[in-house]
Structure 1
């Protein structure tokens, strides 16, 4: 009886130790300065945007959000919080991963590195007429991230899966300047980011960051680099030096595939859905 009694007294102590052990093993989910990732405003997508990927705003205005999904060549538009959406068809079925709206031109990125461009004025039509497709302008690889700067007219593309990046523990990309008059993408530089610190610390896989979306805070020049595979948001300086990392809670960020800022510097992240959950866009208001 005394032995059984001792076991009963020790049970609460054992449970407390298990609680603290589990608590200490949980990853730390942090938020970038100015935002609280624990308090999003969630916008549930309709069924045809279950696989929502890229998102963008026209001139950073948040009254209408533009988006694409993986398979269909359609540009969707809808008011924030309203499930009803309209769309224009810009291409055949493919693997469309991200988009950017640069002044009066829409740029849609295919995973093979091809870019479809068409006038923003056609975003409200039933079908885009004579879209322009840029082929073989990027090194061979898989691409999911495009960002266009309204200030400089430059277009930035990051490789998700490139052979040389794996060898050297880097993130690479290409920079173009878009000539609005000629509708041409002019090569203007390269992107290189050292990932060795993230790999050695175990924050990302040895195979790389696996970037799924890219945005820039034009007020600070900082890059916001999203990785769905690693469930990570990396913030880098204007010259692509890592400043901070933020692990994303999978209960909030199911499959983060798109990222954008509006003119009030509110941050938006889109998530693909699955068999159990709908696609969504999360809005994080900028804290004063």
Structure 2
């Protein structure tokens, strides 16, 4: 009996060791989003709501109360400049294309700030098909297709069971009438997060296009998470973010080399920008 128990125990240990060894990659991926560097932001950016890389270790940032673009210097760890483009309002997304900046207001009004670094930049506006009930918090450059992308946080104007990705044509300077792609709120990838009202299952707070892969990275700030869509806009990954590190992720952007930055509103603490890596 003793020999049998010892043999059984040994076999069990060998099987367990093999299982764990063969699944190291699985266990590592339980927390695949790693913070490399953190920049604590000043009070002026307490409600930082959007980011865009502009080069030379600098980011354009906005916060959701003032018509101001903040130029933040990562190397110097300070706000280098503040650019006024509009009245106070609920501004949620920012994207820089060459010398021009674009800012999305939550009611779907897009601001084009021409030659934003000029002393007195000119501003134009374009109304999307969205309104306050849709609540737009996202904006990103899709350089390959010469357009800006955005998605509603709340109700989609076409279907409450999707979050559509919509676009602004940078060549024609017009909102495109058709959605680029739908994200199905009843997709199996969202099963764990499913809500009674499906539009609350995933509530985008910002998005960015990966400069190397063309994949679309979309944040949620309400229940911190990050989803990655492949180039066909199918859901590739869903990552839950640690709320201790990502209290309220509201901004996301990439450098041309693929460095990934995520900003967090203060949410009772200190606003910050994280540079992160994903395994």
Using structure 2 for the length normalisation, give the TM-score. Answer: 0.80
The counterpart of 1:157, out of the listed 150, 164, 169, is 150
Please say if 1:66 is aligned against 2:67: no
The counterpart of 1:44, out of the listed 40, 43, 46, is 40
Conservation of the 8 A alpha-carbon contact between 1:199 and 1:208: no
Please report how far the alpha carbon of residue 47 of structure 1 lies from its aligned counterpart in structure 2 after TM superposition. 1.0
The counterpart of 1:255, out of the listed 236, 245, 248, is 248
Describe the shift of the 1:165–1:48 C-alpha distance in structure 2 as closer, same or farther (beyond 3 A).
same
The counterpart of 2:125, out of the listed 110, 133, 142, is 133
Please say if 1:77 is aligned against 2:68: no
Describe the shift of the 1:118–1:175 C-alpha distance in structure 2 as closer, same or farther (beyond 3 A).
same
Please report how far the alpha carbon of residue 159 of structure 1 lies from its aligned counterpart in structure 2 after TM superposition. 1.0
Q: Secondary structure at the match of 1:40?
A: strand
Match of 1:203 in 2: 193
Match of 2:271 in 1: 279
Q: In structure 1, how many angstroms separate the alpha carbons of the residues matched to 2:90 and 2:188?
A: 29
Aligned ranges 1:57-206 → 2 under 5 Å: 57-58=53-54, 61-81=55-75, 82-119=77-114, 121-123=115-117, 125=119, 127-129=120-122, 131-135=123-127, 137-140=128-131, 141-162=134-155, 167-168=160-161, 170-179=162-171, 184-187=173-176, 189-190=178-179, 191-198=181-188, 201-205=191-195, 206=198
Q: In structure 2, how many angstroms separate the alpha carbons of the residues matched to 1:236 and 1:286?
A: 14
Q: Aligned pairs, how many?
A: 244
Describe the shift of the 1:166–1:104 C-alpha distance in structure 2 as closer, same or farther (beyond 3 A).
same
Conservation of the 8 A alpha-carbon contact between 1:62 and 1:262: no
Conservation of the 8 A alpha-carbon contact between 2:153 and 2:203: yes
Please report how far the alpha carbon of residue 286 of structure 1 lies from its aligned counterpart in structure 2 after TM superposition. 7.5
Please report how far the alpha carbon of residue 216 of structure 1 lies from its aligned counterpart in structure 2 after TM superposition. 1.1
Q: In structure 2, how many angstroms separate the alpha carbons of the residues matched to 1:164 and 1:155?
A: 18
Using structure 1 for the length normalisation, give the TM-score. Answer: 0.78
RMSD between superposed Cα atoms in Å: 2.2
Describe the shift of the 1:67–1:200 C-alpha distance in structure 2 as closer, same or farther (beyond 3 A).
closer
Describe the shift of the 1:85–1:201 C-alpha distance in structure 2 as closer, same or farther (beyond 3 A).
same
Please report how far the alpha carbon of residue 57 of structure 1 lies from its aligned counterpart in structure 2 after TM superposition. 1.4
Larger deviation: 145-154 or 72-81? 145-154
Q: Secondary structure at the match of 1:201?
A: helix
Q: In structure 2, how many angstroms separate the alpha carbons of the residues matched to 1:224 and 1:200?
A: 15
Describe the shift of the 1:143–1:29 C-alpha distance in structure 2 as closer, same or farther (beyond 3 A).
farther
Describe the shift of the 1:49–1:139 C-alpha distance in structure 2 as closer, same or farther (beyond 3 A).
closer
Runs (5+) with no aligned partner, structure 1: 1-27, 32-36
Please report how far the alpha carbon of residue 271 of structure 1 lies from its aligned counterpart in structure 2 after TM superposition. 0.2
Please report how far the alpha carbon of residue 152 of structure 1 lies from its aligned counterpart in structure 2 after TM superposition. 2.6
Q: In structure 2, how many angstroms separate the alpha carbons of the residues matched to 1:238 and 1:76?
A: 31
Q: In structure 2, how many angstroms separate the alpha carbons of the residues matched to 1:29 and 1:247?
A: 9
Match of 2:12 in 1: none
Conservation of the 8 A alpha-carbon contact between 2:50 and 2:250: yes
